[in-house]
Amino acid sequence: MREAGLEGSVEVIPRGCFGLCRLAPNLYVEPDDVWYSKFTLRDVSVIVRQHLREGRPVKRLIHYPDQDKKGGGVMTQVAAAREIEVGEAAPDFTLKDEGGNPVTLSSFHGKKNVVLLFYPFDWSPVCTTENCAVNDDLPKFDSKETTVLGISCDSHFCHRAWKEKMGFKHTLLSDQLREVSKKYGLYLPDLNCSKRATVVVNKEGKVTYKKVQELKTARSTSEILSALR
């Protein structure tokens, strides 16, 4: 799991809760909120990766292997990367914009709300569609004293070419080292990119809204605007 880029805290539940019967449930998955039986660590890896592909990150995962040959049981603890949640302080960061200039999140504190638009890749169909929609609604964001920052793992050179081609007015930030998407728990290791997610940060630097989309589903700008206070 660590090799897949997953990290976070682990909640330990004693194996004795289910005894040592081979038919006892040995895998708990949240957000499924279901116990499964007869799963191996290889199965666990597949389940976590499938959830990531579907845009439904595993928030908590507990795996108990079958009994060993001596009749004992050893619990394997696995946890997925933890997503940022509403009410938390937004982790600060500095990234290059499309012009190669540094942009720091905390520089907006006390001045403007910030909408962080995490998306997989420049030039892709869904990312282009939703960024065009955001660009069209920029006056509405401005009226709510809000800055929009698009964030993907593309280079700032790629951002610049895409922005010039599409005529975008909002800023695009390059998270080429994947540090920010990982900080926010929004990194997809299998695709080596960020999830399609929206995080609203208010003037005090607190997260007031968060939504993770299915990768092939464009976000709604009207929904984001409604979330701005």
- Measuring CA to CA, which residue among 128, 135, 169, 132 is closest to residue 152? 128
CA dist., res. 108 & res. 103, Å (int):
10
Q: Copy the structure tokens of residue 86.
A: 């509403």
- Measuring CA to CA, which residue among 34, 36, 33 is closest to residue 24? 36
How many helices (H) and strands (E) the chain has is answered by: 6, 13
In sequence order, which ranges of 7-124 are alpha helices (DSSP H)? 41-53
- Measuring CA to CA, which residue among 174, 164, 157, 163 is closest to residue 131? 163
Catalytic residue among 17, 127, 132, 153: 127
- The number of beta carbons lying within 10 Å of the beta carbon of residue 20 is 13
| Residue 127: active-site member | yes
List of long-range contacts for 135-142, beta carbons under 8 Å, 24+ apart: 135/166, 135/167, 135/168, 135/169, 135/170, 136/221, 137/221, 137/222, 137/225, 138/169, 138/170, 140/221, 140/225, 141/115, 141/225, 141/228
> Known catalytic residues?
127
